[in-house]
């Protein structure tokens, strides 16, 4: 990897995206961080962070991504918030696929993306199927490297309140006791750990298609510490 790189981050206002942004700002390798989003972020207004307000991310084209080497994506929603499966699929599959396609056209070298544990395009579970579908499609794009993180339950404070998710977070310590052996990949992860791992993964720059589950993500952050 070159010693000076430009990062493009989509989803910086989200729980994982916010921690990814912090890691990028603190990393001396990244001399520029480009953000695209619907609102201005008040935090982390460092000189190397440029923010562009975009009402609809679907309007972004290759020209917007030129000059960046690494694309980080932390976009996502819930079916409840989306309102329907069709709208969920538009936000979680069609939009990221459009953005990654345009980024690849612009010469972006690496994609680092948050997916979900168990992602599988063959699954009958709608959520798992869509995550797997997106993974399958981005793997076809001409990036030098594609890095896909597959966390299970993410623990941390969101800007928006999600009652069901809050309840599961409360039970996470007890549920984690059951995630042993082959079930280890379902162990909960702190959002901060995932955001930090995204940047460490990009720094490694392993070529090809790379999948990271619980143990891989924890190992990355533990070795750094």
> Domain for residue 194, yes or no?
yes
Look at residue 44 and tell me whether its pLDDT is greater than 90. no
Query: Which of left, alpha, beta for 52 (phi over 0: left; psi -120 to 50: alpha)?
Result: beta
> Domain for residue 114, yes or no?
yes
- DSSP character at residue 121: T
Count structural domains, the chain. 1
Give the Cα separation of 193 and 5 in Å (integer): 22
Annotated catalytic residue 212: no
Residue 182: CB atoms within 10 A of its CB come to 7
Phi/psi at 108 (5° precision): -60, 135
> Domain for residue 131, yes or no?
yes
Range in 37-51, 61-75, 157-171 with the lowest mean pLDDT:
157-171
CA of 102: how far to CAs of 35, 130, 221, in Å? 16, 20, 30
> Domain for residue 167, yes or no?
no
pTM of the model: 0.87
pLDDT of residue 174: 46
Look at residue 101 and tell me whether its pLDDT is greater than 70. yes
> Domain for residue 170, yes or no?
no
CATH number of the structural domain spanning residue 25 = 3.40.50.720
> Domain for residue 20, yes or no?
yes
pLDDT of residue 172: 47
Q: What angle do CA 116, 223, 194 make, to 5 degrees?
A: 25
pLDDT of residue 164: 44
Range in 99-103, 132-136, 173-177 with the lowest mean pLDDT:
173-177
Q: Which of 30, 131, 186, 214 is catalytic?
A: 131
Give the Cα separation of 94 and 92 in Å (integer): 6
Those residues with Cβ within 8 angstroms of residue 85's Cβ, 6 or more apart along the chain or in another chain = 79, 126
Q: 189-218: per-residue pLDDT in tens?
A: 999 999 999 999 999 999 999 999 999 999
* Mean pLDDT of all residues in 11-23: 93
Q: Which of 48, 105, 127, 185 is catalytic?
A: 127
> Domain for residue 184, yes or no?
no
- DSSP character at residue 182: G
Q: 113-161: per-residue pLDDT in tens?
A: 999 999 999 999 999 999 999 999 999 999 999 999 999 989 866 445 4
Q: Which residues pair with 113 in a beta bridge?
A: 73, 148
For residue 38, what pLDDT band results from cuts at 50, 70 and 90? Answer: confident
Those residues with Cβ within 8 angstroms of residue 103's Cβ, 6 or more apart along the chain or in another chain = 8, 62, 65, 68, 71, 111
Q: Where are the beta strands (DSSP E) in the chain?
A: 5-10, 30-37, 49-53, 70-73, 110-114, 145-149, 154-155, 189-190, 208-212
Give the Cα separation of 33 and 6 in Å (integer): 6
Top pLDDT among 138 and 14 is at 138
* Mean pLDDT of all residues in 41-50: 75
* Mean pLDDT of all residues in 172-183: 55
> Domain for residue 176, yes or no?
no
Range of the domain at 92: 5-153+190-224
The mean pLDDT of the chain is 87
Coil vs helix vs strand at 196:
helix
Give the Cα separation of 175 and 149 in Å (integer): 21
């Amino acid at each position: 990897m070159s010693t000076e790189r430009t990062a493009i981050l989509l989803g910086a206002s989200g729980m994982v995206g916010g921690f990814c942004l912090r890691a990028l700002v603190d990393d001396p390798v990244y001399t520029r961080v480009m953000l695209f989003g619907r609102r201005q972020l008040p935090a982390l207004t460092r000189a190397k962070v440029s923010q562009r307000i975009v009402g609809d991310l679907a309007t972004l084209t290759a020209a917007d991504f030129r000059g960046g080497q690494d694309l980080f994506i932390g976009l996502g929603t819930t079916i409840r918030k989306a309102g329907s499966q069709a709208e969920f699929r538009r936000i979680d599959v069609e939009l990221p696929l459009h953005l990654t396609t345009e980024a690849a056209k612009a010469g972006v070298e690496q994609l680092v993306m948050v997916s979900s544990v168990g992602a599988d395009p063959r699954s009958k579970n709608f959520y798992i199927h869509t995550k797997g579908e997106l993974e399958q499609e981005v793997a076809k794009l001409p990036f030098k490297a594609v890095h896909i993180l597959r966390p299970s339950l993410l623990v941390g404070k969101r800007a928006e309140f999600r009652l069901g998710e809050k309840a599961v977070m409360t039970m996470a310590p007890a549920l984690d006791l059951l995630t042993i052996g082959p079930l280890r990949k379902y162990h909960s992860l702190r959002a901060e750990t995932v955001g930090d791992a995204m940047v460490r993964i990009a720094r490694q720059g392993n070529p090809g298609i790379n999948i990271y589950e619980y143990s891989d993500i924890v190992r990355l952050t533990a070795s750094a510490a």
